[in-house]
Structure 1
């Protein structure tokens, strides 16, 4: 007597922060019924990675399997693409997702000087503002080195630690070259026990600074 065929169990529920977003880097035409065609640049949200060689993702409410992709959330923050950043966060992508250098979206936005992206990221309750990448740099190190004084001020307002040292034993103050950034960091260090400056987020503009992918040394 043959055994009845049991249906495969449904994939585990996807919780916010567990979803990973990938951007397709090439066009793909479905070869089988279980596959789906997609185009380069399509955004795929991975919902099941139980098989390490074949992932299940959602694509505009459709299902698609794919493994040739890259993370878009950090690129979005680096280039000031708020719409894509919002899309990733709304889909449940972790705000603390890391790239190969160990940098997060807050690192990328701080390095690029994209205040509007930083303001959005700061709304996420699980954001790690002092996360260190593989070089030991925090987002405050990135902003200080780039001379983004408004970003430095905003990060300090939200409690960024000025005393963290990177692998070269540098604090954000050691990396700062711009006078206004130096002053902000010095003042923050001197008044660390006092109440914050009282600025509201609305006081900060959203003008992008020069965007660059240069690595901090």
Structure 2
């Protein structure tokens, strides 16, 4: 089933219902950046959680705020999605409630496609999370030598 949201537009974005998202935006443009009362997800975050590219594109074209934060983190690690968000001006070094950046998560997931993309967008591999670990520390701990090399070159 997944997540149940208190904000109907958030639920529609999560369930990939572009018709409903469009209806809510047409009714009131402020719904684009509304945050769900439970965890602070916006419609954009909801769509990103599931990788719903059409809804993400729709919201970005209507100036959804890419830098609003929720109380949790992690969305799909999808190259096209990340490119879209970077092009829309997302803060590549934004941290979540654990002090982690997208680069921390990409390193944990050994995502060798996203790491160069994030580094090219000036992701900082030396930001420490709440456990005191940098992205480089994560790559070293998990023995991801190719990722470690990429991060060393960038820092």
- TM-score strictly above 0.5: yes
Structure 2 unpaired stretches of 5+: 1-6
More strand by share: 1
Structure 1 equivalent of residue 91 of structure 2: 128
**1:91 alignment partner, one of 56, 62, 78:** 62
Specify the SS of the correspondent of 2:87: coil
Would you say the 8 A contact 1:162–1:185 is kept in 2?
no
Residue 94 of structure 1, CA deviation: 0.4
Q: Residue by residue, what CA displacement relative to the aligned partner does 1:68-123 show, whole Å, maximum 9, x if unpaired?
A: 9662211222222111111111222101121222x4xxx52xxx220110111111
**2:20 alignment partner, one of 42, 46, 61:** 42
> Are 1:59 and 2:24 counterparts?
yes
Structure 1 unpaired stretches of 5+: 1-20, 27-38, 45-57, 193-217
What TM-score do the two structures reach when normalised by structure 1? 0.52
> Are 1:164 and 2:127 counterparts?
yes
4+ residue stretches of structure 1 with deviation over 4 A? Answer: 66-70
Question: Aligned-pair RMSD on alpha carbons?
Answer: 3.3
Between the two proteins, the alignment pairs up a number of residues equal to 136
Cα distance in 1 between the residues matched to 2:86 and 2:108: 20
More helix by share: 2
> Are 1:23 and 2:1 counterparts?
no
Structure exhibiting the larger radius of gyration computed from Cα positions: 1
